[in-house]
Amino acid sequence: MDGGDSERLAGSEIHGFNTLEDLDVQIMFEEAKSRWLRPNEIHAILSNHKYFPIHVKPVNLPKSGTIMLFDRQKFRNFRKDGHNWSKKKDGKTVKEAHEHLKVSNEGRIHVYYARGHDNPTFVRRCYWLLDKTLENIVLVHYRETEEGSPAATPVKSNACLTDQSTPLLLTEGSPATPVNSNACLTDHSTLLLLTL
């Protein structure tokens, strides 16, 4: 990470972090080993990618908790990571769910989810901003999850949950997302609520 801890972050009026010190990247990346990044954190990182290393080569078999940034204009095959992801019926194409995440009540982030074929609790999420001027930068996050556990309870909802405690929000077929007042999924299909 470059310097500039006290420099004002781009997009702070949207994601709510004024400086890198406010974002507290070291703690956030450490926590990312056991939780998904929140949409406002993702927005802050992608909006301020100049402060982070951008990978230009593939990483083979990244482990749970790994977070990387790629410029997809310079490296289009960033998803070729050596993992065996679940495939569509054709047996060739990786089966990915696509959604938009909200930050400050507006859809701002596109996300692709993929599950491990051999280990369905291993998940990869690829995020990029819907802002055309910044959509080339992709944040990729790998995590071992607890999804599919017996504690999962189906919930029908037509509104975003805004509780800032520990529930996780799932749309059917997609990984858990921490719910907070700055973020929700724009797809209001059947939801699963896990309480940790």
Nearby residues of 42 by Cβ (< 8 Å), 6 or more positions away: 101, 109, 127, 139
Note the pLDDT of residue 171: 35
Q: What angle do CA 32, 33, 39 make, to 5 degrees?
A: 20
Residue 68 lies in a domain: yes
Asked if the model's pLDDT at residue 168 lies above 60, the reply is no
Q: Parallel, antiparallel, or unpaired for β 54-55 and 67-71?
A: parallel
Residue 124 lies in a domain: yes
Residue 34 lies in a domain: yes
CA distances from 121 to 114, 117, 175 (A): 10, 9, 9
Residue 28 lies in a domain: yes
3-class DSSP assignment, residue 107: strand
Q: Parallel, antiparallel, or unpaired for β 106-115 and 122-129?
A: antiparallel
Cut 0.85: pTM above it? no
Residue 41's domain comprises 12-149
Task: Determine what percent of the chain is predicted with pLDDT higher than 70.
Answer: 71
Asked if the model's pLDDT at residue 193 lies above 50, the reply is no
Q: Please give the Cα distance from 9 to 24 (Å, whole number).
A: 12
- Selection from 81, 155, 90 nearest residue 124 by Cα: 81
User: Contact 42/109 with Cβ under 8 angstroms?
Assistant: yes
Q: Please give the Cα distance from 57 to 128 (Å, whole number).
A: 18
If residue 115 lies in a helix (H) or strand (E), which one and from where to where? strand 106-115
Count how many domains the chain has.
1
Note the pLDDT of residue 147: 67
Note the pLDDT of residue 149: 41
Give 89-142 pLDDT, tens digit per residue: 999 999 999 999 999 999 999 999 999 999 999 999 999 999 999 999 999 999
- Selection from 31, 38, 48 nearest residue 183 by Cα: 38
Residue 62 lies in a domain: yes
Asked if the model's pLDDT at residue 152 lies above 90, the reply is no
